[in-house]
Chain A
Amino acid sequence: MHVNLKNELLQDHWFVVGFGLAVLFATVTLLGPPLAPFDPWDMSFAPISPPTAQHLLGVNDGGQDIFSELLYAVRNTVAFGLVSGLVALTLGVIIGLISGWFGGYIDTVLMRLADVLLAIPAIMILILTAALLRPSPVVLALILAGLMWPTISKAIRAQTLSLREGLHIRAAEQIGGGNWYIIRRHLMPEMFPLYLIGFAAKARMAMFMEASLAFLGLFDPSRKSLGMMISYALKYYYMDIWWNWLLPPIGCLSLLIMTVTFLAISLEKVLDPRLKETLGERTA
């Protein structure tokens, strides 16, 4: 990179906010269990009690500490989003590069497969799988990744097709660089912004999907999840619990998604200076 990354990033508001939130969520994700004041499965407290100094967010209908529950839920959602997003990105990049670089019938086969997957609604597959087979969350994350890669690979493939006509890539070919060498040294570094966009979009989608599935009660009910918390809280919304029981998981979910988005926007902008103007950030 030819830019002073640190200075550029610190001047960017999107990054500062996104990074702050990311640090917060990373702390929660990594240190959730020791931070939690109580065992979130412990049902020994007075059900549906408002927040106190001991129970920061009160106690839910099952007599569990909501704050502890929230810490565990965030951890699960983030892990699901990261795993799913990373796997989708990896699949998408590999398939996109292979498809774009080798072309021919490899390209045709892979891209038709991508078209088929794009036509199938992911949520439907996930609901059916979760309901019928009851797989572990990791398997579900992988299945989701397996459904999400086509959009990434389409973008990577398109970029590969345009890059492969570039003179430096043809020069490397003429020198005798093999396929793997050119993909690794010439194509992959050129597409960094695409990885960020792809990952952010997919991680966002996966986190939202996880919350949705949990909301619908398709996960093991004992697994803490933001969606499940929202779903339980909604049952008692006529009581005055919305601010201490319903709002925290909803807020966390929104903030999580915003974190990923903010970071992606800022990194993309800094790494690809051409985007600065289109986003109008400098002048705004």
Chain B
Amino acid sequence: MSLSIDRLSVLYQDGLHSIQALDEVSLELKPGVCLALIGESGSGKTTLGHACLGLLPQNASVEGKISLNGQQIDYNDETSLNQFRWNRLAMVFQNGAASLNPVYRIINQVAEPLIQRADIGRAEAMLAAAQALSELGLNHDECNRFSHQLSGGQIQRALLAMALILDPEVLILDEPTSGLDAVTKTIVADVIQKARSGNKTVLLITHDLEFAVHNSDTITMLYLGQIMETLPAEDLLTSPLHPFTLALSRSYPAMSTARDLGGIRGDAFYRTVHQHGRQEGEIYKHSHIQSPGSGHESSHAPPTGCLFQNRCTQALDRCRTEPVALEVIGDHQVRCLRHGIVSILDLKQVEKSYGDVVALRPTDLTIKAGEVFSIVGETGSGKTTLAMTAAGALKPDNGTRVFDGHDMDEWIRRDYKSLARQIGVIYQSPAESISHRFTVLEAVAEPLKIHGLCRNSAERLERVIKVLAHVHLSTDKAFLGRYPHELNMGALQRVSMARALVLNPSLLIADEPTSSLDPSVQAKVLKLLLDLQIELGLSMLFVTHDIGLARKISDRLGVMLQGRLIEFGPASLVIDKPAHPYTRLLIDSVSGLSQKSFNSRSGRVEPGGCPFEPRCPRAKDVCKNKNPQILERGHRSVACHFPLE
């Protein structure tokens, strides 16, 4: 039995402006398949569920159609709708306890649909209800309790039993796991499993990303009533294509991610539409996105462009104005003008030597918009050279560099300054990267001066103060007049962060920004850096020798050895299950214990052989002679002949 939703729009009328809950949403639900609908609160998930059952309030105006098995449902015909509601299409409502009647025992409420809809005798119905409840793990006593006497998990079971009692063809679950502990969640998972194998159609409305990944086939991302991306469930946490999907998956505390929780910059609560009467025959719509704290002065959502653009990490000017439709990319459907998440930086086969010292062997490096990529490695492995090559400050001997879709070398020749505005760099030593003759004000204003972005010193001062406030530094006159040697390291590193951020770059390159700080200051500075990364929508290349640190901050991670990235992929994957023996060594060495299983001899590396061969316990003859190519394995890439499983 398939449920198809065709261009469904729902507007809630509310005085002058109406709230746009759904905007031309089309979904196709097939039997035996579970589709998960994911979005922030206010994205219209529940409205969609209610619309399917015809339960929308009076002030909702609905456009579009919903059909079951190709037959359009007529929501004006209450009697047939009533028949159809529990028999063919059942819903488990959010906030379970509130949808149960407190003066009836649970078992009575579960039996009720049977009695009402299926014309079954009371005694028989009670038996069937008890049976259904016990299947979900409620015993006889619990069945006879009132709803307020049950725990949240038991109520959820009762609701599931109620929804399933008439064996409907379509099951809609609205946040079935919210408020449930992990163990109780598995009962919901079992129900979904069973429904799928019973060839039922399941619509799972949730914000529990990991649950959705494991219990659904397809996931649809809803943002302010619009579908942003539809993707296979297993791709949600590993390879999303829409910036919204990525940002949301980064906000979710999945067990498999090690990075500190991200979040999405900005807020959006709901979307309103003002109707200013008719202009030339069509309703002139004026749309706003309401966000908390904005009161009535809401942020102006683009009347025509992408709804997500003001929170997006890769929005262009045209994202504001050009309408976007869903397009098919592989097995995803994506609503993005830029065809999904773009790479902000793409280095291909870059090489660099200083005289006869080879600092960088042919290496690829891709940084996606809005992500934090960490490079980890020993000293002298070429991390800084790679970072400076990425920053455009070093010219590679070979290889191509592409920044934001443009050839970087060509860009540098044509107009280096405009490229420099896009890339901010934070150096390892703040004391050295700021001239000791500059005051805080002069140091932070220097980039503005060089680029001549401010007409006068008052405007410059205003921007300096703004960026200093961003990095949580004092903005009073006395502080602005301080010299670097009068500040402590933490404050100084924030000044250099302010310097890197004052031009509003889109890529931030941080070269060991915390190595000169003690752990407590380091923690503060890093937290600030990551908050800024999210708030400003930056992409970041983070260079560090501390793999523990990299684990906490990066989305993706690359391990460098002798001028080459030998393994890179999602940070959690690389750290939990390293594929290269060298990565294993790095992780195991964090504690400072000597690593007996690795050879400590720094034997001669055969030219053309694997650079880790002398130390590698898994090395065979082939490693001596042949440097392994980077090969993709799952979601990561690794250069090893005998990768660890």
Does A136 have its Cβ within 8 Å of any Cβ on chain B? no
State in angstroms the CA–CA spacing of A127 and B177 once bound together: 101
Q: Decide if A175 touches B433 in the complex (CB within 8 Å).
A: no
Does A181 have its Cβ within 8 Å of any Cβ on chain B? yes
Does A173 have its Cβ within 8 Å of any Cβ on chain B? yes
The contact string, 1 if C-beta is below 8 Å from chain B, for chain A 171-196, is 11111111001000110011000000
Residues of B within 8 A of A185 (CB): 435, 446
Contact of B416 among A2, A170, A176, A181 (CB under 8 A): A176
Q: Decide if A170 touches B421 in the complex (CB within 8 Å).
A: no
Q: Decide if B450 touches A171 in the complex (CB within 8 Å).
A: no
Q: Decide if A176 touches B425 in the complex (CB within 8 Å).
A: no
State in angstroms the CA–CA spacing of A3 and B622 once bound together: 64
State in angstroms the CA–CA spacing of A27 and B417 once bound together: 51
Interface range, B side: 20 to 34
Within residues 152 to 175 of chain A, which ones have a CB less than 8 A from any CB in chain B?
166-168, 170-175
Q: Decide if B433 touches A167 in the complex (CB within 8 Å).
A: yes
Q: Decide if A176 touches B417 in the complex (CB within 8 Å).
A: yes
State in angstroms the CA–CA spacing of A177 and B436 once bound together: 17
For chain A, the count of residues having a C-beta within 8 Å of the partner chain is 18
Q: Decide if B483 touches A168 in the complex (CB within 8 Å).
A: no
Residues of A within 8 A of B416 (CB): 176
Residues of B within 8 A of A167 (CB): 427, 429, 432-433
Q: Decide if A172 touches B446 in the complex (CB within 8 Å).
A: yes
Q: Decide if A168 touches B450 in the complex (CB within 8 Å).
A: no
A167: shortest Cβ distance to chain B, in Å?
A: 4
Q: Decide if B432 touches A166 in the complex (CB within 8 Å).
A: yes
Residues of A within 8 A of B447 (CB): 175-176
Q: Across the two chains, which residue of chain A brings its CB closest to B419? A: A176
Does B300 have its Cβ within 8 Å of any Cβ on chain A? no
State in angstroms the CA–CA spacing of A250 and B435 once bound together: 46
Q: Across the two chains, which residue of chain B brings its CB closest to A170? A: B393
B503: shortest Cβ distance to chain A, in Å?
A: 8
State in angstroms the CA–CA spacing of A174 and B416 once bound together: 9
Q: Decide if B421 touches A168 in the complex (CB within 8 Å).
A: no
* Given contacts A2-B483, A167-B429, A170-B393, A175 and B434 within 8 Å (CB-CB): no
Residues of B within 8 A of A170 (CB): 393
Residues of B within 8 A of A172 (CB): 435, 446, 450
Q: Across the two chains, which residue of chain A brings its CB closest to B425? A: A174
Does B437 have its Cβ within 8 Å of any Cβ on chain A? yes
B263: shortest Cβ distance to chain A, in Å?
A: 30
Q: Across the two chains, which residue of chain A brings its CB closest to B443? A: A168
Within residues 180 to 234 of chain A, which ones have a CB less than 8 A from any CB in chain B?
181, 185-186, 189-190
Contact of B393 among A168, A174, A190 (CB under 8 A): A174
* Given contacts A166-B432, A168-B435, A176 and B450 within 8 Å (CB-CB): yes
Q: Decide if A2 touches B485 in the complex (CB within 8 Å).
A: yes
A190: shortest Cβ distance to chain B, in Å?
A: 8
State in angstroms the CA–CA spacing of A171 and B450 once bound together: 12
Does B391 have its Cβ within 8 Å of any Cβ on chain A? yes
Q: Decide if A171 touches B433 in the complex (CB within 8 Å).
A: yes
State in angstroms the CA–CA spacing of A174 and B451 once bound together: 12
Residues of A within 8 A of B427 (CB): 167, 171
B340: shortest Cβ distance to chain A, in Å?
A: 30
A170: shortest Cβ distance to chain B, in Å?
A: 7
Q: Across the two chains, which residue of chain A brings its CB closest to B393? A: A174
Q: Decide if A176 touches B433 in the complex (CB within 8 Å).
A: no
Residues of A within 8 A of B437 (CB): 189-190
State in angstroms the CA–CA spacing of A257 and B103 once bound together: 110
Q: Decide if A168 touches B434 in the complex (CB within 8 Å).
A: yes
* Known interface pairs A166-B432, A175-B450; 4 further A-B residue pairs with C-beta atoms within 8 A, sorted by A's residue number: A167-B427, A167-B432, A174-B425, A181-B450
Can you list 26 A-B pairs with a CB-CB distance of less than 8 A? A2-B483, A168-B432, A168-B434, A168-B435, A168-B436, A171-B425, A171-B434, A171-B499, A172-B435, A174-B391, A174-B392, A175-B420, A175-B447, A175-B450, A175-B451, A175-B499, A175-B503, A176-B417, A176-B420, A176-B447, A176-B451, A177-B446, A177-B450, A181-B450, A185-B435, A190-B437
List residues of B whose CB falls within 8 A of some A CB: 391-393, 416-417, 420-421, 423, 425, 427, 429, 432-437, 446-447, 450-451, 483, 485, 499, 503
List residues of A whose CB falls within 8 A of some B CB: 2, 166-168, 170-178, 181, 185-186, 189-190
Q: Nearest 3 CB-CB pairs, A to B? A: A176-B420, A167-B432, A176-B417
